[in-house]
Structure 1
Amino acid sequence: MSGSFRIQGGHKLKGEITPQGAKNEALQILCAVLLTKEKVTISNIPDIHDVNRLIEILGDFGVKIEKRAPGSYSFQSDDINFEYIHSEEFRKDGAKLRGSVMLLGPMLARFGKASMPTPGGDKIGRRRLDTHFQGLIELGATFSYDEKLAHYSLSCERLKGASMLLEEASVTGTANIVMAAVLAEGTTSIYNAACEPYLQQLCKMLNRMGARIEGIGSNLLTIHGVKELGGTEHTMLPDMVEIGSWIGLAAMTKSELTIKNVCWEELGLIPTTFRKLGISLERRGDDIYIPSQESYAIQKFIDGSILTVSDAPWPGFTPDLLSIVLVVATQAKGTVLVHQKMFESRLFFVDKLIDMGAQIILCDPHRATVVGLDHETPLRGTTMISPDIRAGNAMLIAALSAEGESIIHNIEQIDRGYEDIDGRLRKIGAYIERM
């Protein structure tokens, strides 16, 4: 469903908005249903393109899927059609979805073989899969790659526990290795493991299914392999990238907003980072309340030097929110350097913001300096094309704060990550229509 959004900017919004379930958690949790023959029920699943596509792939595998309520499904993998993996259909479906790579660990653990077309997803620079394959090979899998078909295959007699040090703290890589190791023989230790809340959620769910994972929330996971796993119920966290986006939206449009049920304990540095940009926000129970602010001033470092906001593996600041920080800074008072360390093409949408009147110097593919306009000259509406999920949402926020009309094309890139975003924004007063 591609199309365009037409947005009339410059209007204040007001009201409450509830974040969707976390996309990045959903992709891991859904792959884990292949690890057991018993029923697994999952709630708060976001109704978005990438997640729905993965659910369809599971259905094609022979997983019995039952929709229980909006956002709630049960899955049972007791009769898997493994031949589907060799079909032309899987080659096409798997290639379109980056998250499908996390099917490898569960397939290998339960069936002793797995294969996968080279996955697609965002165009945000190279995203290597070496960590995934390296980890699975250390557990005893044999790896082969067919260059002509761009197809990976893995097989093993029996996975055996191993000690490994990951080259990078890859979230999906760690998830894949954990899902393989829970059914391996013996003990696996993973050092420099990712420790994102979404990965912690996966480990807690696996433990409820009978896995024995220690060190959850740290960068050293110890996994004692078990023979089999059982069913469970799981509710997903709210999407922290959406929560950060709505904080930015409130500041840019000078709106009073309440973001509902945010799981404060799991937000890490997100509230602090937006406060450094001068945005007032307060905790009310498990909600975030943002008052209407005419102006917000970027803090400086203690020695008076310019603030830098950069991404880092958890518990550092998530790279998915840097594009939002960049947009929010365009209307702040003061200057900030945004340093995107993890992906090399994530900042290339700044030319669109410059067209809208933002003062940004793109230093190189990883760094941009933003000189805030302090709401004195609003951004101007323009026509733009969304290059990836996160930049698309940042453009949407820019357009809602801008004077005049904006058109955003290629909004399939936004729909991939955000559920009914236009409907939810209209409820708080946004002028946005889908064309």
Structure 2
Amino acid sequence: MSEYEYDLFTIGAGSGGVRASRIAAAHGAKVAIAEEYRLGGTCVIRGCVPKKMLVYASMFADDLSHPENYGWTIGEKSFDWPTLRDFVQKDVTRLEGLYGNTLESHEVDTFSERAVVTGPNSVKLASGREITARNILIATGGRPHMPDFPGAEHCLSSNEIFHVEDKPKCLMVAGGGYIAMEFAAIFNALGSEVTVVNRTDRILRAYDEQIVDRMLHIAMGRGIDFRMHSLIESVEKLDDGRLEVDLGDANKVTVDQVLIAAGRTPNTEGLGLDNAGIELGKKGEIPVDEYNRTSCPSIYAVGDVTDRVALTPVAIREGHAFADTVFGDNPRTVNYDAIPSAVFSQPPLAGVGLTETEARKQYGNVKVYSSDFRPMKNIFNPHAERGLYKMVVEEVSEKILGIHMIGPESPEIMQVAAVAVKAGLTKQAFDDTIALHPSMAEELVLLK
């Protein structure tokens, strides 16, 4: 008999933890997993999945604003936030059930309670039970970072915004990252008056500056108010329930809700990692090697808790690689080059590889090919919004270093374009490909 109750005990049932657990079980390991909240983690329960559903609803709202151009005559229109909110949460519950079914079908024991590390090979559940395991995997993800200022308790994070009773008539969003931009676009399209507050003059720092500038121009044209070089100093709740926000200038701003989207923090607080001799990094992250192993040989970590690349597909790859390495006799690592990403703003933007600025710093001389065009779909829209595609290539070889775009369906197009960057193709490969007409994607093979 084994000296341990389990071969693997996973703490955290998000995308990375569930993938690692089921693959390890498929390799023949005896596996258990603990989750203190809901199966599915941030992405499924209170992140990219429900947020994308809200994006679709807000896109419909935009199309509904000009039905006559499509030949439709529509009568009285009204929007009911609770109906949308509850529909989204119903599907989240459905997905949570699928995650549970996956774990059950792979004979993974699930504990619906908090677990903490008590040693290199042991964890303790909130119920008091102590369990031993040959290996422990930490996959607890991250949580929203909430700044400390007077009245911060009156503000929402991205966890709570999905559950508000009513759609705010006036919403302030603090932050300049993708979460801030996506929620600002969602509620703007749904009819809220939206103000974005950012402490610098740059938003979406990981994306190409020219693409971001185009997004800013379009967002402002749609009515979003951007307050750059601004910082919330305090929030006071008024007698009528509204919030008065002090930005440090003469005029205070009164809104219905304040959403703080100022980054995320690795979820390591109180996990007991010091009991296994694991020291955290400066941001609270768990340092790991290329095989996801911590400084304690029996404990591993994957996903956002390691603060490498905080994307769901990356956590899934890391979890799979971990299980194959430890339990499948197939050592594997994750390659973090050319990872595509997107911001589901309106319109969405997407990118893969080096931005133009990054490429010039790294390679010196580069060539930039671009297409600045009005998507056919936007002909119906009274807003004269233009798309922009960019391809950055090495000057001599014309190897593609990065592709960046903004326009309808950009994330869908980017997924395929990312294959070309990952494969190390040159622009000539795009030039040799006949266009699929009429489409927006054809602009990629017509870049000048």
Q: TM-score range with shorter-chain normalisation?
A: under 0.3
Rg comparison, structure with higher value:
2
TM-score, structure 1 normalization: 0.28
TM-score, structure 2 normalization: 0.27
Q: Which has the higher contact order (CA 8 A, sep 6+)?
A: 1
